[in-house]
Structure 1
Amino acid sequence: MIRTAAVVGTGLIGTSAGLALSRRGVRVHLLDIDEAAARVAAARGAGVFGPPAERVDLAVIAVPPTRVAQVVAQQQRLGLAHAYTDVASVKSPATLAVADAAVQDSSYVGGHPMAGSERSGPLAARADLFEGRTWVLTPGARTSSAALNRTLAAVSLCGAVPVVMEPSAHDRAVALVSHAPHLVATLMAARLGDASREALALAGQGVRDVIRVSGGDAALWTDIIRSNAPAVAEILGELMKDLEALTGALNALEVSAPAPEDALGAVRELLRRGRDGWEAVYEPGGAPGQVTLTVPLADRPGEVDRLIDAAQGAGVCPDGIDLCWSQGSSELSARLAAPPLTAESVRRTLADGGWRVSVAATPS
Structure 2
Amino acid sequence: MVQRAIVVGTGLIGTSIALALRENGVEVALSDPDPATLDLACELGAGSALDPGSMGTPADIAVIAAPPRVIPAVLRDLQDRGLAHVYTDCASVKDSVVRETTRLGCDLATYVPGHPMGGREKHGPSAARADLFLGRSWALCPTGKADPGAVATVAEVARLCGAEPLTLDAARHDSAVALVSHAPHVTSSAVAARMVGGDETALAMAGQGVRDVTRIAAGDPEMWQEILRHNAAPVADILEAVATDLTATAEALRAGGGSGTETVRDLLERGRHGHDRIPGKRGAQRVPGFASLPVVIPDEPDSLGRLFAAVGAAGVNIEDVRIDHSPGLPVGVAQLYVQPEALTELAEVLADQGWSVHA
Q: What is the letter of the counterpart of residue 268 of structure 2? A: L
Contact 2:320 2:338 in 1 (8 A): no
1:83 is paired with a residue whose SS is strand
Contact 1:16 1:127 in 2 (8 A): yes
Q: What is the letter of the counterpart of residue 186 of structure 2? A: L
The superposition leaves residues 47-97 of structure 1 with CA deviations (integer Å, 9 ceiling, x where unpaired) of 101234232110000011222111111211222211100011111111111
Are 1:281 and 2:278 an aligned pair? yes
Q: How many Å separate the matches in 1 of 2:113 and 2:91?
A: 8
What is the aligned partner in structure 2 of residue 256 from structure 1? none
Q: What is the letter of the counterpart of residue 209 of structure 1? A: D
Q: 1:185 offset after TM fit, Å?
A: 0.4
Are 1:196 and 2:199 an aligned pair? yes
2:270 is paired with a residue whose SS is helix
TM-score of the aligned structures, taking structure 2 as reference length: 0.80
Q: What is the letter of the counterpart of residue 107 of structure 1? A: T
Q: How many Å separate the matches in 2 of 1:185 and 1:252?
A: 26
Contact 2:316 2:342 in 1 (8 A): no
What is the aligned partner in structure 1 of residue 353 from structure 2? none
Contact 2:10 2:30 in 1 (8 A): yes
What is the aligned partner in structure 1 of residue 184 from structure 2? 181
What is the aligned partner in structure 2 of residue 91 from structure 1? 94
**Pairs within 5 Å for 1:45-194:** 45-52=45-52, 53-54=55-56, 55-194=58-197
Question: Which moves more between the two structures, 94-103 or 176-185?
Answer: 94-103
Are 1:311 and 2:317 an aligned pair? yes
What is the aligned partner in structure 1 of residue 262 from structure 2? 265
Q: 1:102 offset after TM fit, Å?
A: 4.0
Are 1:323 and 2:339 an aligned pair? yes
Q: How many Å separate the matches in 2 of 1:278 and 1:318?
A: 16
Q: How many Å separate the matches in 1 of 2:156 and 2:112?
A: 12
1:193 is paired with a residue whose SS is helix
283 and 261 in structure 1: CA distance in 2 versus 1, 3 angstrom threshold? farther
Q: What is the letter of the counterpart of residue 266 of structure 1? A: T
44 and 284 in structure 1: CA distance in 2 versus 1, 3 angstrom threshold? closer
102 and 154 in structure 1: CA distance in 2 versus 1, 3 angstrom threshold? farther
1:236 is paired with a residue whose SS is helix
Are 1:213 and 2:216 an aligned pair? yes
Q: How many Å separate the matches in 2 of 1:310 and 1:284?
A: 16
Q: What is the letter of the counterpart of residue 277 of structure 1? A: G
What is the aligned partner in structure 2 of residue 37 from structure 1? 37
Contact 2:135 2:282 in 1 (8 A): no
The superposition leaves residues 219-267 of structure 1 with CA deviations (integer Å, 9 ceiling, x where unpaired) of 11111111100000000111111111111101112xxxxxx22111111
122 and 284 in structure 1: CA distance in 2 versus 1, 3 angstrom threshold? closer
What is the aligned partner in structure 2 of residue 20 from structure 1? 20
**Pairs within 5 Å for 1:292-311:** 305-306=311-312, 311=317
Q: What is the letter of the counterpart of residue 242 of structure 1? A: D
Q: What is the letter of the counterpart of residue 135 of structure 2? A: G
68 and 284 in structure 1: CA distance in 2 versus 1, 3 angstrom threshold? closer
Q: What is the letter of the counterpart of residue 60 of structure 2? A: D
What is the aligned partner in structure 2 of residue 328 from structure 1? none
Q: How many Å separate the matches in 2 of 1:92 and 1:308?
A: 49
The superposition leaves residues 153-174 of structure 1 with CA deviations (integer Å, 9 ceiling, x where unpaired) of 2111111100101111111111
Q: 1:311 offset after TM fit, Å?
A: 3.1
Q: How many Å separate the matches in 2 of 1:238 and 1:287?
A: 27
Unaligned runs of 5+ in 2: 291-309, 323-335, 344-359
1:2 is paired with a residue whose SS is coil
Q: What is the letter of the counterpart of residue 323 of structure 1? A: Q
Q: What is the letter of the counterpart of residue 38 of structure 1? A: L
Identity between Structure 1 and Structure 2 (%): 42
Unaligned runs of 5+ in 1: 254-259, 295-303, 325-331, 335-364
Q: 1:104 offset after TM fit, Å?
A: 1.5
284 and 86 in structure 1: CA distance in 2 versus 1, 3 angstrom threshold? closer
1:105 is paired with a residue whose SS is coil
Contact 1:69 1:102 in 2 (8 A): no
